[in-house]
Amino acid sequence: MTAAAHHDYYAGGWLRASGTRLLTALNPYTEQPATLVRESTPEDVDHAVGLARQAFTSWSAMETGMRAEFLQRVASGMRSRAEDLARSISTELGMPIKLCRRIQVELPISTFEQTAALLASYPWSERMGHSLVLREAAGVVAAVSPWNYPLHQIVAKLAPALGAGCTVVLKPSELTPGCALMLAEIFDAAGVPPGVFNLVPGAGAITGEALVSHSGIDVVSFTGSTQVGRHIMTRAAQTIKRVRLELGGKSASVVLRGADLARSVKHAVASCMLNSGQTCSALTRLLVAAEDYDEAIDLARAQLRTLTPGDPLDERTRLGPVISASHRDRIHGYVRRGIDDGAQLLAGGPDSPDLPGHGYFVAPTLLGDVRPDAETAQEEIFGPVLCMLRYRHPDDAADIANHSRYGLAGAVWAGDDREALAFARRLRTGQVDINGAAFNPAAPFGGYKQSGLGRELGRHGLDEFVELKSVQLPQPVN
C-alpha cells in the first residue's frame, strides 16, 4: 500500500489535511489497500480557494506564451513519469496496463501539449464593428473528476482552465487518487506559481460539497453521474456559478444494411468492453437489422471470447476487474433484471465460471432481444454488458437510437460514408463515429440532453473557461 506522506497541495507546497478521516483506495484485483489519503475538510477547501483567488490576478494577467510554457513543462514532467502514472492508474482502477499507457496517460499528455499550442491562435480579442470583444479568464475553477478516467478527466479540465488564465482547485475521486498526487508533484517540479493549482482530496459528500458550493468559486467543471450533476447544478445556482457537466451515456452503434457487419460488431464490442465497460461514451447498445441479427450474435460471441480477464499489470490481460465489489453487484443486478424482463443471456452473466478467483470481475456479457424501453436499454449499466436490439428499417433504427434521456456518443456503419453521415445527422448526440473513424481529441466532446452541459477538448474546451467582454470604441467623426 502507498501511504500519502502529503495530502493537500496548495500555495506551492504540501500541507497535511486537517481532517481526521483516512480514505483508502483499494486495488480491485487484489482487493487490498492501494493508496491512503487524508480527507480534506471544508476548512481546507476554504483555504485552497482563498489561495487560488489570490493567485488569479497575476496568473490571468500573465502573457499567454508564458502560460503555454508552463503547460509544456507539465506535459514534459508527465512524460518523464508516464510509467509511474500508468501503473498507479492500473493498480487503483483495474484497467490493463497496455491500455493505461496508451489511453489513460498518453492522451492526457497530448491534451496538455495541444492546449499549449492552441493558446497562440486562440482569438483572445476580435473586432465586431466599433466594438472590441475580449475573451478573459472566468475566475477560479472547481474541478471535480471521476474515477474511471482519472488523469484524462483531470487534464481535460486543468489544461484549458489554466491556459485560459483561470486558477484551479481540484478534487479527484477518492477511488483513484494516486495519479492526482503524482500530478501535483509534477506541477511542483515544473515551478507553476503558488496557488495556481491546488489539490484537495476527499469524498464528494464532504470535500466535494464544500468545493462546489463555495462562494469563491466562479466555474464548476464536473464529470460523473447524472444524479450528482443535478445536485451540483442546484448547489451552484445559489451563487450563479457557471457549471460545466459531462455526465452519463447510453450510446448506440447502428449497423445499416450493406455495412461491413464483421467490422461493425467488432468495433461495438471493443467500445463496450473498454475499461470493463466503465466508460461514459461506450457503445452499449448494438442496433442491427433483423436480417443480419443472428449473424451479428455469432460475431459478437466470437469477439467476446478473445477477452482475457486477469491481473491488470500482466501485459497479456485484455479485461480487468471493475472498480469495487458494490459496483460489480450493481452490474449483476442490472443483468438479472434484464433477463427477468425477457432479454436473452447470450454470453457471460453473473454466474459465469470463467473468471479469476479474486478481484471484482464481471464477465463480458451479451444480452439479446432487449426491448428499446427496457431498463437495460435505458439505464447506464457502466459495466461490460452489451445490449443487442434488432430494427426493421432505418427510420426505426433512428427512433430506437434517439429513445434515451442521454445523448453523449454514437456510431453509424453503412455501405458508404455519405449514407453514414446522413444517418449521423439524425442522431441527437454530441459525437458520432462513422464507419470506424477514430476519436479526435481536438474536436469538442460533450453531450445532448441529460449527458451534460458544455464541451471539453480543443478550442471549444477553452471557450468554457472564458468570459466575453465587449468594449465599445469611439467611432471616428467624418
Which of the residues are catalytic? 246, 280
Alpha helices in 95-149 (DSSP H): 97-99, 106-118
User: How many other C-beta atoms lie within 10 A of the C-beta of residue 151?
Assistant: 29
* Length of the chain counted residue by residue: 478
Distance between CA atoms of 385 and 304, rounded to whole angstroms?
A: 11
Burial (0-12, 13-18, 19+ Cβ within 10 Å), 15:
middle
CA dihedral 116, 152, 233, 135 (to 10 degrees): 10
**Phi-psi category of residue 290: left, alpha or beta, with phi > 0 → left and psi -120 to 50 → alpha:** alpha
Residues 361 and 96: beta-carbon distance below 8 Å = no
Distance between CA atoms of 99 and 317, rounded to whole angstroms?
A: 10
Cell of 401: 437510437
Cell of 318: 485484455
Q: Which residues of 432-451 are buried (b: 16+ CB within 10 A; e: fewer)?
A: bbbbeeeeebeebbbbbbbb
**CA 348, 353, 356, 362 torsion-angle sign:** positive
Residues 264 and 420: beta-carbon distance below 8 Å = no
Which helix (H) or strand (E) element contains residue 71?
A: helix 64-80
Distance between CA atoms of 293 and 389, rounded to whole angstroms?
A: 8
Which helix (H) or strand (E) element contains residue 400?
A: helix 394-402
User: Which residues have CB under 8 Å from 432's CB, separation 6+?
Assistant: 409, 410, 411, 412, 424
User: How many other C-beta atoms lie within 10 A of the C-beta of residue 81?
Assistant: 17
Backbone angles phi, psi at 389, to 5 degrees: -125, 145
Distance between CA atoms of 388 and 296, rounded to whole angstroms?
A: 9
Which helix (H) or strand (E) element contains residue 179?
A: helix 178-189
Start-to-end CA distance of the chain, whole Å, equals 76
Burial (0-12, 13-18, 19+ Cβ within 10 Å), 3:
exposed
Distance between CA atoms of 42 and 27, rounded to whole angstroms?
A: 28
Cell of 67: 502560460
